[in-house]
Structure 1
Amino acid sequence: MWTSGTGPLLPGGASPSGTRRDGSEPGGPLPDLAGVTWIIVAALLFGSQFVFHKYCPGFGPGAYNITMALGILLGAAAAQPLLGLSSMPVMLGALAFAGGMVWVFGNLLLVYAVASAGMARAFIIVNFTAVFSFFGGIAFLGELPALTAPRLGLIVTGIGLVMAGAFLVGTTVPRNRVQGAGGRGKDGRGQQGSGAEGNGGNGPGTDGARMRRGLVAVFIATLFFSTYNAMIAFAINREGAPAGPTLGLLAPGAVAGAVLAAAVAGGGSLSAWRAAPRKWHLLALAQGLVWAAAMACIMFGWMGTGIAMGTPVQVGTQTLVSSLWGIVMFGELRDVGDRRGAYAKFISGAALTVGGIALITFT
């Protein structure tokens, strides 16, 4: 069916080839401790990755997406000796490549959302990926076959909490639209205008209409991310595709998708990419390397938990991490009029989403 290499076995019995020591199927009905550990490590990386983007605010989403994808390609290539060199069927390789393309379109929307709404708000909305991936894992991958009616009721309650929390976070926006004619990035360079490749001079939290567009964008991104999760989990959990070549093939898919998206969208993305300063490219490459490391960890985690159980743990953890970065480090709620009320709504929304995810995962 497929041929794997002889890479090292991982804690908990998972291996880079997608099998376990005891021969049991990965992605079972209960979270595997080793799988959860890998997922938490991945979530720490995923939740921190956009710190790099904060230091090149004039690097538009389409252009940034290309360089970040190149960083993922570099990271995937560097990880191959660690993951175990192996081969996989052509169809599974094509699925991994297509998965990279699906993911990168979602990432383009997420980059725009972080620039428009900030890390803290954007990653709260990313929690919807947990909801979609949960049902995707059950419906398409056959995970959690022993799901009972009482547990389904608790899961529905958890989904309601996630949605309520996302609503509270989504309403922590400025009341008045602030106009800007272009500002200066942190390296002193002038930012571009208010089009798709620029920030219009306003950082996250200063433009209510733009922030709402960012929140809509990140919600749409969750559909791409959930589809990507199902595609990759199908390859490694259902079909036994090894982690090394899966990561190695989804990375060039991400590069191809990023270039295609920039070319189709127009708006100067490709010219902006060529004209961007070296510092911005290095920052975007660094984010891609972090993402590649996180993706390697998450694939090992899925081998223990599947996406139905693993994704809620991932997004709940990365929500807390990204919120701390956004609020504490970058002050993303400073420009809201009623700051105390905004903090209260945000904290309440974050608590509801994390509580909902915990209810989905551990009931």
Structure 2
Amino acid sequence: MHSHENTVRLMPDVASQAQPHLAGALDWVGMDDIEVPVRFDAGDGEVQRASAQVGAFVNLNRPDKRGIHMSRLYLLVDQYLSAKTLDAAMVESLLREFLGTHKELSDRARISIRFEHLVRRAALRSGNSGWRAYPVSIEAQLDADGFRLELGTEVVYSSTCPASAALSRQLIQEQFAKDFAKDRPLDYSAVLAWLGSEQGIVATPHAQRSVARLLVRFAEGAPLDLIGLLDRVEQALGTPVQTAVKREDEQAFALANGGNLMFCEDAARRVQKALDADARIADFHVRLEHQESLHPHDAVAYASKGATGSQGWLSPTC
């Protein structure tokens, strides 16, 4: 008969076994696309839960060490993001924990968090409303230079080409000259009917769905006010895409497009001016993309605050 003693089972750990022939420091090591829930207050005081994909990384500055402790990163991500509301202070604490669990291996940490946030948007005229899902990305890093966090999102809007509008107006003028002889008196009812007919409006300017991609760094202590950022940019552009649309809403949208002609350069300067005026934003980079209906290539413009910093996925060289 054998006695059973409580013993700790030793399991092999090959990651701790050095490989001198492959020694070298590594910029980043970790995991990407970790699936985890996040809790986020977008600035309206309501904490919304979303499904996120997370990248968690530290550097490996010990050439003699084979690997990092990836499970520690995963468990910290789960511990923080599943239970705590996402804000800058929480992300900084999480990155400090990354380094605390890798103090013998790493002196830099970073995280990326990607999810969508639903915002209810009112219709233009009808009194209805609907939901818009805005993509959110948070990129943060902690190193010897301190903590830095950037928030990215997108605004989708309509852009009507000023050149196309001018060319359309010219064709309408020419058609009017053909249909109404200049040596005859104009009949008000006939002109009014002509303006409401397909024969009168012979040309329309081309418009396209367009995207403003935003990357901002908020001032120290400022909240991650996503809704405030979206509102400011959508108001600057004037024609964000709609949710619930009745005929009166569609007509109001057509009116807004007609009075809001813009090239991509115009759109970029509008957003630049709007963000420059926001003291809560320390730095920003924007990419405006007009997905042309006239030709298969897009018109694109970039703008920034001018401060030094990462442009990430907004850089034209990426």
- Please report the TM-score for the alignment, with normalisation by the length of structure 1: 0.20
Q: Which of the pair has more CA radius of gyration?
A: 2
- Please report the TM-score for the alignment, with normalisation by the length of structure 2: 0.22
Of Structure 1 and Structure 2, the greater helix share is in 1
